[in-house]
Amino acid sequence: MPRGSKQRTAGDYLLTFAPWVAYVSLTEAADSWRLGFAIGLTISAGTVAWRTLHTDSRFIDVGTLCYCAAMTGVSLSYPDSPLRPYNIPLSAVVVGLLSLVSVISGSPFTYRIARDKVPGWVLEDPAQHARLFQAHTTATKSWAAAQVAGGTLGAAFVGAKLAPAAITAQLIGTLVPVGITRFQHERFMHSAVPSGHPPPDPNSAADDQNGQAVRGKGPRPGNEAPFGPTDEPSLNGLENASPAGSKPGCVAPSVLTRSDKPGGRS
């Protein structure tokens, strides 16, 4: 994937998860889940509005907005709610459920991000488009499974007063699907070719190092045609070697030794 495309993809993921990152960071830094959810709600509303204006509405953004709105209401109206210690693991579970619903609805959220960053011919080619969709269906399923597992395990550790273990479980639940998503997309891009164009053969790649000729610019050293560019033997030397009196264009028998004849012996 071109560098510019990678940067746009990273920016798209950052925008998608900005409400969650802001909410978790402020909740931990300020020790206030009310402030964290309020900021998360603000960013989420801005994300939905911006994408709606650009006709790019996405389910995961709307789901994030609804969750932040509900939890902001809970944190403001019931600051000492039993949910407070579990709000971060709960958020991970919600991300997993939103990912699962996006798959079930036929619009995996990682596919929605990747779709606008691939070359146009990928979307125009039904076979390649289907492969792209399948790759990101697998990637989004990994988000669903890993986030639900990490959040559930994190909640269990919070209940057991094992905060470091809870953070580790949630971190693993995020890093694993990030790696799977990157792997799935890059594997697709490395194997995708337009219809009618076979994948490149690595054994026939040009090699211009160590004095070797570049493909398309002549034969490699050592493989030159034995008789020159015309692929036909020249009789000039043989004519010059003809003894006096012989007919022009004829070669004296003494000039053709056995080694010049196919299968002859020298």
Task: Report pLDDT digits (tens) over 38-64.
Answer: 999 999 999 999 999 988 888 999 999
**How many CA atoms does the CB half-sphere of 114 hold within 13 Å?**
27
Rounded Cα distance, 216 and 209, in Å: 15
Collect all residues with Cβ–Cβ distance below 8 Å to 132 and sequence separation of at least 6.
Answer: 111, 114, 115, 118, 122, 123, 188, 192
Q: 184 with 71, same domain?
A: yes
| DSSP label at residue 261 | S
Domain identity same for 241 and 142: no
Q: Along the 266 residues of the chain, how does pLDDT read in single tens digits?
A: 555 556 667 888 889 999 999 999 888 888 889 999 999 999 999 999 999 998 888 899 999 999 999 999 999 999 899 999 999 999 999 999 999 999 999 999 999 999 988 999 999 999 999 999 999 999 999 999 999 999 999 999 999 999 999 999 999 999 999 999 999 999 999 998 876 655 545 454 444 444 444 444 444 444 444 444 444 444 444 444 444 444 454 444 444 444 444 444 44
For residue 214, being part of any structural domain is answered with no
Does residue 152 belong to any structural domain of this protein? yes
Same domain, 243 and 186: no
**One domain, residues 20 and 138:** yes
CA 13 to each of CA 72, 110, 224, 227, 246: distance values in angstroms, whole numbers, following the listed order = 23, 9, 54, 62, 86
pTM over 0.75: no
Asked whether residue 216 is domain-assigned, the answer is no
- Residue 252 is part of which domain span? 235-266
Q: Within a domain: residue 218?
A: no
User: What's the pLDDT score for residue 252?
Assistant: 44
The three-class DSSP label of residue 135 is: helix
DSSP state of 230: T
Please tell me whether residues 246 and 131 are part of one structural domain. no
Each residue of 93-109: pLDDT tens digit?
Answer: 999 999 999 999 999 99
Confirm whether 265 is domain-assigned. Answer: yes
Q: What's the domain count of the chain?
A: 2
Q: How far apart are CA 18 and CA 215, in angstroms?
A: 49
158 with 80, same domain? yes
Q: Is residue 230 part of a domain?
A: no
